[in-house]
Amino acid sequence: MCGIVGVSDGDSTQVYAGLYALQHRGQDSAGILSYNGNFHLKKNKGHVWESFTKDSLKELSGRKSIGQVRYPTIGTDFERDAQPFFIESPEKMGIVHNGNLANYSELRKEYTLSSWCDVEVLLHMLSKHLKITKDPFISVEETMKEANGAYSALTLLKDGSMIVFRDPNALRPLVHGEGMYASESIALDIIGKKLEGDIKGGECVLINDNHVERKQLIKEQPRYCMFEFVYFSRPDSVLQGKSIYEVRLELGKELAKKFDKTADVVIPVPDTSRAAAFGFSIESGIPYREGIIKNRYVGRTFIMPDQSTRENAVKFKLNTIKSEINGKRVVLVDDSVVRGTTCKNLVNLIRNAGAKEVHFAISCPPIRWPCFYGIDMTQKSELFAANVKDAEKTLAEKIGADSVIYQSIDGLKNAIGLKTLCTACLNGDYPTDVSTLLARQGNGKRPYEGE
Amino acid sequence: MCGIVGVSDGDSTQVYAGLYALQHRGQDSAGILSYNGNFHLKKNKGHVWESFTKDSLKELSGRKSIGQVRYPTIGTDFERDAQPFFIESPEKMGIVHNGNLANYSELRKEYTLSSWCDVEVLLHMLSKHLKITKDPFISVEETMKEANGAYSALTLLKDGSMIVFRDPNALRPLVHGEGMYASESIALDIIGKKLEGDIKGGECVLINDNHVERKQLIKEQPRYCMFEFVYFSRPDSVLQGKSIYEVRLELGKELAKKFDKTADVVIPVPDTSRAAAFGFSIESGIPYREGIIKNRYVGRTFIMPDQSTRENAVKFKLNTIKSEINGKRVVLVDDSVVRGTTCKNLVNLIRNAGAKEVHFAISCPPIRWPCFYGIDMTQKSELFAANVKDAEKTLAEKIGADSVIYQSIDGLKNAIGLKTLCTACLNGDYPTDVSTLLARQGNGKRPYEGE
Amino acid sequence: MCGIVGVSDGDSTQVYAGLYALQHRGQDSAGILSYNGNFHLKKNKGHVWESFTKDSLKELSGRKSIGQVRYPTIGTDFERDAQPFFIESPEKMGIVHNGNLANYSELRKEYTLSSWCDVEVLLHMLSKHLKITKDPFISVEETMKEANGAYSALTLLKDGSMIVFRDPNALRPLVHGEGMYASESIALDIIGKKLEGDIKGGECVLINDNHVERKQLIKEQPRYCMFEFVYFSRPDSVLQGKSIYEVRLELGKELAKKFDKTADVVIPVPDTSRAAAFGFSIESGIPYREGIIKNRYVGRTFIMPDQSTRENAVKFKLNTIKSEINGKRVVLVDDSVVRGTTCKNLVNLIRNAGAKEVHFAISCPPIRWPCFYGIDMTQKSELFAANVKDAEKTLAEKIGADSVIYQSIDGLKNAIGLKTLCTACLNGDYPTDVSTLLARQGNGKRPYEGE
Amino acid sequence: MCGIVGVSDGDSTQVYAGLYALQHRGQDSAGILSYNGNFHLKKNKGHVWESFTKDSLKELSGRKSIGQVRYPTIGTDFERDAQPFFIESPEKMGIVHNGNLANYSELRKEYTLSSWCDVEVLLHMLSKHLKITKDPFISVEETMKEANGAYSALTLLKDGSMIVFRDPNALRPLVHGEGMYASESIALDIIGKKLEGDIKGGECVLINDNHVERKQLIKEQPRYCMFEFVYFSRPDSVLQGKSIYEVRLELGKELAKKFDKTADVVIPVPDTSRAAAFGFSIESGIPYREGIIKNRYVGRTFIMPDQSTRENAVKFKLNTIKSEINGKRVVLVDDSVVRGTTCKNLVNLIRNAGAKEVHFAISCPPIRWPCFYGIDMTQKSELFAANVKDAEKTLAEKIGADSVIYQSIDGLKNAIGLKTLCTACLNGDYPTDVSTLLARQGNGKRPYEGE
């Protein structure tokens, strides 16, 4: 879960704007590397607006820039592990990526490294192959052969050329248009660039000053991450030609087909579940109401009052509109349940506002397997549905709901409308060999912890 | 436009939490005054979370506290004019208020003042009367006689007693419950206190350690500000017994009754117009869609890219979902139009997403008169509708919409369901004498500017 | 203990520079008020360089400015009590001063005040008299009659005229030259202005755009504070025509005349005692050496290591040169002893470096009476010499010195070369009536504490 | 010019205190690496007190720590190049050093590096040898053979053992005592540790939990940097058994022997030249006076007033005591002249205070050759004395002094009392092969610039 942006003929403020649009993909660090003959690098802990000043953007001069916002799945030192990564020797070169290398543990033994960010390995691999082959395409192809996992990457080389590539399974998104390359199309929207399409899995683009060359290096079946559609991408994004908002309306409709009870009102958990809840209402005919209001300042550092009220922390984030809930049978729609720790508070919130019944509907199927491709759910032991037999029944009991319904895998596929999805976290069907990582499960530790 | 919170038996973190809930009412400064035998005061420029630290909240000790968040209508020096105001002599005493004194210019000549915040005058008036009468109720009554305008106020006296009072016309809101007094009920919700009702216009409450005394000092017809219902209060608030969300659904329904065309989709301007747009959809039968997505990080200091893209600043705030708009006849619902400067960008945004027609529907009637009671529209020359004959037609031309519909005053009253509203800004029917201020209109200056 | 600077025809950066030169006189807050038709005010906690930015100095535009650095003797809220003070009504007007009003407690009852800084009273007094008399000179004269104590003050009036005045006893310094008025001549040196002389006690200067008028309003015997010469002013200052450095050399010589023992080396406590120690060496013939080195970064916020070393805190400030001390009989020269709490550490420092004998010589006579004129020694109970019979013998025992010698009052007068000094803190001869304040002594509280 | 501190059995606050004592050796960055089973690293731009908080020192837990303050001679990105350097693989390991590698340009081609700090090369070299040999002593010996130049280094290995070593010529200082290793003895003084001696050139110490092993790896003639004695070290330091203060008194005496004129007063340039000036006074019999006062707040960020006064910038740093200078023949003593750019201001300062004659005496001989061992004078073209025939005469003309006298090399050696000094910058006698670097002189670029 990260966001990347690059421009092959634009200034760093365009990358900055794109990162701002992708801020929901990572909030722990932000960084930009630009090239104007020399390289200029700025990266910092925190949000995009905390990481750059007017002056620092001016210093990031040049017509080529790459940037990243990070949500770490490996590495917990935000400063040490912030992207872009850059080396001064043997040849200056920098990189950003979105994804996760499944064979990171094996790879890092081969290099002299100063961080726990997997892109540093990717950078050293590319540097090694470039030193030998002097050919960017061959170097990327060799790197793709060694790297197992998800990676959408942007690279700036010593001579100012940019390389763009995406892992053979196209696990993480990477769109492009008018010289911009980004994780989601909204990064293009924000500066008025037109979406032209997606970089394909196993594809590599090399951009020099006046030349764009695009090659299919490796050909495998695409396996687009279904979680981007269900939860992670913004609703106004278009990925692989699909409108995320439309997909979510459809997810709600598919979910409603499974609902066999009656109710008075459908209420979304804001902001992410609004489309799914509305789709549910359309399909079921149960009226839609915004019964929960999210405090618009959520996310700011806030000092919590004393312990007695700390339990009510959810109130600092969400408040109910009692007139829409009191005395009613409520269908509460949420997008996904990973650990199952927060839904109990949501159900309580609705009950405290006077609901007669609460039915909890989830637009994503049960998550039963760990993800090693960049979504922060790497431990089977932490996944609620991985450890129970009847997920709907058990969850209903756990969170005090009158009933729970999960999306089906078929419903999910229908709603997205793409056949080649990665559903590894739902059914264990991994597109790459992750047997070593799976073997480590059960010790309660995260895959790369304490190495 | 400000928010106030006080607790008569709670700690300052409760006031802090309440101010956080009221943050939308004022973001320029925040302050709290507490009493534990001694007085403790903290106030700062900026948001609630920028103005207090864990340590500063600890220093605000005691069981009585009053606080305020400010959006200034007079006075532009945020630090000098931040509330609470406090005097050290002749007797220590502090105050916060929400509202605006219409006769501020006359009153300030009589006192030695160090700011341009009208609450300083209110404080000096009260102090003067208390020095003479030694009686809080009589002092507040005398103050009410001298002060013309809107004021919901909370005061802490030397002996730790708290005074709460609201102007005779009850222009600005003031609710209470379980020892908390606040501008909106959501300040009570956030710490789990139960709403008990509203302080009446002309009423005064005196709270000592073990005694609450409530007196009706002056009796006039209430004139509740209609703008609180239409736009200013949060949808999950309940004022004068009315759910703001329900009122806004009704506003949408009333508005739809005036719509005599056909369309394919109703789209709200997020976040404030969602309820009205949904009400419009219910009444009209035109499908509702969330065609505009608001960047969830709007409000953070952001460095804008170079000039060419500066015109597109709206894109940093709002993005469209093209699939919901392209090729469609759109009804775009907004809550109100004051200056008419931003709606053109909204219409453009929808047109650029491919809309075939754009109809702009406004859930508030045309604003034709200045407000002197605390809403930041004090200059007739700045009000779009004050200066045109046919507001709907003229606005449609100005913003490039296919049509514009405004709410009617009757529709507004029906939707709110209260008969005694202040509609001065709509029809010039002012509840207090503002002839002096009206006489100054036309010079292009704001009422108190340059004195 | 404060510093003030004003310019009657120069920009605010000159006042800023002057305040930087006077930084040793007060480090708790700094502020400047300028006038360019309108008034501009900036004041902040902390040092001069922390209180202003390039931008804030630009905003302080105009050709007249007054500024202050503050070391508070009354009032402990640095922000609330920071100077300059300014009122908006009945007429805009601002002030800074250096000194202390001995009858502050009485005066503050008569005014409505928001701080505990005595200059606020001075400002209200002046404002009151100006409102009545409309004449600056008469207003200052009336103010001088009411105010008891020390005050060197600079004022800016509504029409941009500047008033400069000094209390009738001339207790605190106030020099001038080429349109600058300042506490010490070094404020003039730093911007290359030539010292022209001192403002006299009871004198008032009124400066309009093209006119300087100077009047002797009240005539009393001057009583210059001896502590300015002994300790407080910088050695490169010239006050009342005397070079502070020369005075301190003479203080050392006078002190040496009282020394009846033999020793191997004279060592100053840096930085303030260097001149006195060198004078001692000249007179006594005992070689001078810099045996103590002061860390040049003293004064920066520093995190102290754990408790075991916390006792050795003096080592973070001072270190010895063992080669100059080991095996020697040392005369250690310090400028003054007020509470007697730190000299034990100094003697220990010298002993630990291997000294055979330590003789502690103090260039100021014993301080036995509280000061109510602006030096932070207001409590008799806190003054070491006020509470013992034989100060030299008792101090030697307390601090573990082989002997102690204090300056005599005659030696002090000879060294300074001025007959009309305030020596109230040495012999209780107060130039103004302080009987009320003296009567309060003994309760252990500072004069204005807890009112 | 850097400072290093390490403790083999103490907490990180001791290293912090030591770095504070060594702050004069480098103010651009500060960092500490500690080991408590895991490694903890903090480094930042700026002073010691800006780089650490109470919390960050707590996080630097463990009984072994190494730290550094940096004044860069290579590398201008303070954050990227700040020490300590640390690698995560193939084995965790960290380092600090003081010095400069003369063959850095050659060495960096062999490693994959992310900075322009020469200690990164040292770290990679050690890591490489450790991987092969597994023996710390052999690894250091191999590193010493490859590295040409000055380096006093402290290293922490994966198992928590500490390695201390100094280059064979002992160019940069490295003292020790009671388990602390530091650039100067004052780092020991500040926490009360006793100085035990110096680490020898070519020596290596390996400290494990309960074992200290010390080996002479390479034996060469020591060549202690003379500049440490003349200028760089603090006067209260003891290096190679010599008191710096005593050395400087002697330097002044030696210098006075060359002075063949008469004068009225000897005045030091504060603070560094006080001892030399006093020695000059003792030897010559000319009275010593502190005629220049240094502003005690020099070094704080300060906004300079407008251009007219910018020329007088020296006044913000230094002010004169006119009574000691006016009408007199002055000997002004300074410690060294490198570029010759500031002495003209000093002479002017004295002249403007009314001096009849100004003789400029310099306690260091003329600097004619670049230093490649860590003193920031790497370019022959920048050295005043390198480019003139008669340095004394030419300098006198340039700065407007009546005469100039430089120390002789013999005088320098007599004063220091050590025979084996590095005087390369005085006479070109370099202890290591620097022919490549000398060959690059003349292009006007610094040695490693723009590579």
CATH 3.40.50.2020 placement within chain D: 248-417
% of chain A exceeding 90 in pLDDT: 80
Q: Quick check: C305 pLDDT over 80?
A: no
% of chain C exceeding 90 in pLDDT: 80
Which of D89, D90, D113 shows the shortest C-beta gap to A89?
Answer: D113
List, for residues B90-99, the tens digit of each pLDDT value.
889 999 999 9
| Cis, peptide link before residue C168, omega less than 30° from 0 | no
Number of helical H runs and strand E runs in chain D? 17, 23
CA B265 to chain centre: 31
Average pLDDT across chain B, whole number: 92
Q: What is residue C207's predicted lDDT score, i.e. its pLDDT? A: 97
Distance from CA of B115 to the nearest CA of C (A): 6
User: Is residue A435 within 8 angstroms of chain D, CB to CB?
Assistant: no
- The answer to whether D87 contacts A112, with C-beta atoms less than 8 Å apart, is yes
CATH number of the structural domain D248-417: 3.40.50.2020
Burial (CB count within 10 angstroms: exposed 0-12, middle 13-18, buried 19+), residue D81: buried
Q: What is residue A308's predicted lDDT score, i.e. its pLDDT? A: 47
- The Cβ of residue A59 has, within 10 Å, a number of other Cβ atoms equal to 13
Neighbours of chain A (3+ CB pairs under 8 A): B, D
Sign of the torsion angle spanned by Cα atoms B364, B367, B372, B374: positive
Residue B210 CB contacts under 8 Å (≥ 6 apart), including other chains: none
Distance from CA of D313 to the nearest CA of C (A): 9
Residues of B in contact with A308 (CB under 8 A): none
Residues of D in contact with C54 (CB under 8 A): 303
Residue C92 CB contacts under 8 Å (≥ 6 apart), including other chains: C39, C86, C158
User: Is residue A242 within 8 angstroms of chain B, CB to CB?
Assistant: no
Decide: A354 and A291 in contact? Cβ < 8 Å.
Answer: no
- The answer to whether B114 contacts C115, with C-beta atoms less than 8 Å apart, is no
Could you give the dihedral angle defined by the CA atoms of residues B324, B330, B331 and B335, in that order, rounded to the nearest 10 degrees? 60
Distance from CA of A127 to the nearest CA of D (A): 10
Neighbours of chain B (3+ CB pairs under 8 A): A, C
Distance from CA of A131 to the nearest CA of D (A): 12
CATH 3.60.20.10 placement within chain B: 3-222
- The Cβ of residue B266 has, within 10 Å, a number of other Cβ atoms equal to 29
Residues of D in contact with A114 (CB under 8 A): 86-88, 114
Among A301-315, C133-147, D384-398, the minimum mean pLDDT is found in: A301-315
Sign of the torsion angle spanned by Cα atoms A373, A376, A379, A382: negative
Residue D127 CB contacts under 8 Å (≥ 6 apart), including other chains: A112, D87, D90, D91, D93
Backbone angles phi, psi at D108, to 5 degrees: -65, -20
Backbone angles phi, psi at B360, to 5 degrees: -105, 115
User: Is residue D116 within 8 angstroms of chain A, CB to CB?
Assistant: yes
List, for residues A267-316, the tens digit of each pLDDT value.
999 999 999 999 999 999 999 999 999 998 877 666 665 544 444 678 88
Q: CA-to-CA distance for A409 and A415, rounded, in angstroms?
A: 10
Q: CA-to-CA distance for D107 and D118, rounded, in angstroms?
A: 9
The catalytic site residues of A sit at 2
Q: What is residue C316's predicted lDDT score, i.e. its pLDDT? A: 85
Best mutation target, B321, B348, B350, to test chain A (most A CBs within 10 A):
B321
Decide: A66 and A154 in contact? Cβ < 8 Å.
Answer: yes
User: Is residue D225 within 8 angstroms of chain C, CB to CB?
Assistant: no
Query: What 3 state SS string does chain B have?
Result: CEEEEEECCCCHHHHHHHHHHCHHHCCCEEEEEEECCCEEEEEEECCHHHHCCHHHHHHCCCCEEEEEEECCCCCCCCCCCCCCEEECCCCCEEEEEEEEECCHHHHHCCCCCCCCCHHHHHHHHHHHHHHHHCCHHHHHHHHHHHCCEEEEEEEECCCCCEEEEECCCCCCCCEEECCEEECCCHHHHCCCCCCCEECCCCEEEEEECCEEEEEECCCCCCCEEHHHHHHHCCCCCEECCEEHHHHHHHHHHHHHHCCCCCCCEEEECCCCCHHHHHHHHHHHCCCECCCEEECCCCCCCCCCCCHHHHHHHHHHCEEECHHHHCCCEEEEEECCCCCCCCHHHHHHHHHHCCCCEEEEEECCCCCCCCCCCCCCCCCHHHCHHHHCCCHHHHHHHHHCCCEEEECCHHHHHHHHCCCCEECHHHHCCCCCCCHHHHHHCCCCCCCCCCC
Decide: A236 and B321 in contact? Cβ < 8 Å.
Answer: yes
List, for residues A237-271, the tens digit of each pLDDT value.
999 999 999 999 999 999 999 999 999 999 999 99
Distance from CA of A202 to the nearest CA of D (A): 28
The catalytic site residues of C sit at 2
- The answer to whether D320 contacts C243, with C-beta atoms less than 8 Å apart, is no
Residues of chain B short of pLDDT 70, as ranges, are: 73-76, 299-312, 442-451
Does domain D3-222 fall under CATH 3.40.50.720? My reply is: no
Query: Quick one: closest CA in B to A241, which residue?
Result: B323
Which of D234, D305, D309 shows the shortest C-beta gap to C293?
Answer: D234
Q: What is residue D297's predicted lDDT score, i.e. its pLDDT? A: 86
Average pLDDT across chain A, whole number: 92
**How large is the average pLDDT for residues D215-235?**
96
Query: Quick one: closest CA in D to C237, which residue?
Result: D321
Distance from CA of C239 to the nearest CA of D (A): 13
**CA nearest A147: which of A105, A94, A200, A182?**
A105
Task: Let me know if chains B and A touch, i.e. at least 3 Cβ pairs under 8 angstroms.
Answer: yes
Q: Quick check: C227 pLDDT over 50?
A: yes
Please spell the DSSP secondary structure of A221-260, one letter per residue: ---EEHHIIIIIS-TT-EETTEEHHHHHHHHHHHHHHT--
List, for residues B320-377, the tens digit of each pLDDT value.
999 999 999 999 999 999 998 889 999 999 999 999 999 999 999 999 999 999 998 8
Q: What is residue B73's predicted lDDT score, i.e. its pLDDT? A: 65
List, for residues C236-273, the tens digit of each pLDDT value.
999 999 999 999 999 999 999 999 999 999 999 999 99
- The answer to whether A16 contacts B303, with C-beta atoms less than 8 Å apart, is yes
Q: Can you read off the two tokens belonging to residue D232?
A: 């760089």
**DSSP assignment, residue C300?**
B
User: Is residue C300 within 8 angstroms of chain B, CB to CB?
Assistant: no
Residues of B in contact with C108 (CB under 8 A): 89
User: Is residue B37 within 8 angstroms of chain C, CB to CB?
Assistant: no
Q: What is residue B448's predicted lDDT score, i.e. its pLDDT? A: 60
Distance from CA of B246 to the nearest CA of C (A): 46
Q: What is residue C313's predicted lDDT score, i.e. its pLDDT? A: 74
Query: Quick one: closest CA in A to B275, which residue?
Result: A290
Which of B13, B234, B315 shows the shortest C-beta gap to A306?
Answer: B13
Sign of the torsion angle spanned by Cα atoms D68, D72, D73, D76: positive
- The answer to whether A116 contacts D86, with C-beta atoms less than 8 Å apart, is no
- The Cβ of residue C56 has, within 10 Å, a number of other Cβ atoms equal to 16
Query: Quick one: closest CA in D to A112, which residue?
Result: D89
- The answer to whether C108 contacts B89, with C-beta atoms less than 8 Å apart, is yes
- The answer to whether A315 contacts B192, with C-beta atoms less than 8 Å apart, is yes
- The answer to whether A11 contacts B192, with C-beta atoms less than 8 Å apart, is no
Q: Which of D2, D204, D225, D371 is catalytic?
A: D2
Q: Quick check: D312 pLDDT over 90?
A: no
| Cis, peptide link before residue D287, omega less than 30° from 0 | no
User: Is residue C164 within 8 angstroms of chain D, CB to CB?
Assistant: no
- The answer to whether A124 contacts D112, with C-beta atoms less than 8 Å apart, is yes
Residues of C in contact with B128 (CB under 8 A): none
Residue A86 CB contacts under 8 Å (≥ 6 apart), including other chains: A33, A39, A41, A92, A93, A94, A95, D114
Q: CA-to-CA distance for D106 and D86, rounded, in angstroms?
A: 22
Decide: A332 and A267 in contact? Cβ < 8 Å.
Answer: yes
Sign of the torsion angle spanned by Cα atoms C435, C439, C442, C448: negative
Q: Quick check: C330 pLDDT over 90?
A: yes
Q: Can you read off the two tokens belonging to residue D438?
A: 């000398």
Is this structure's pTM higher than 0.95?
no
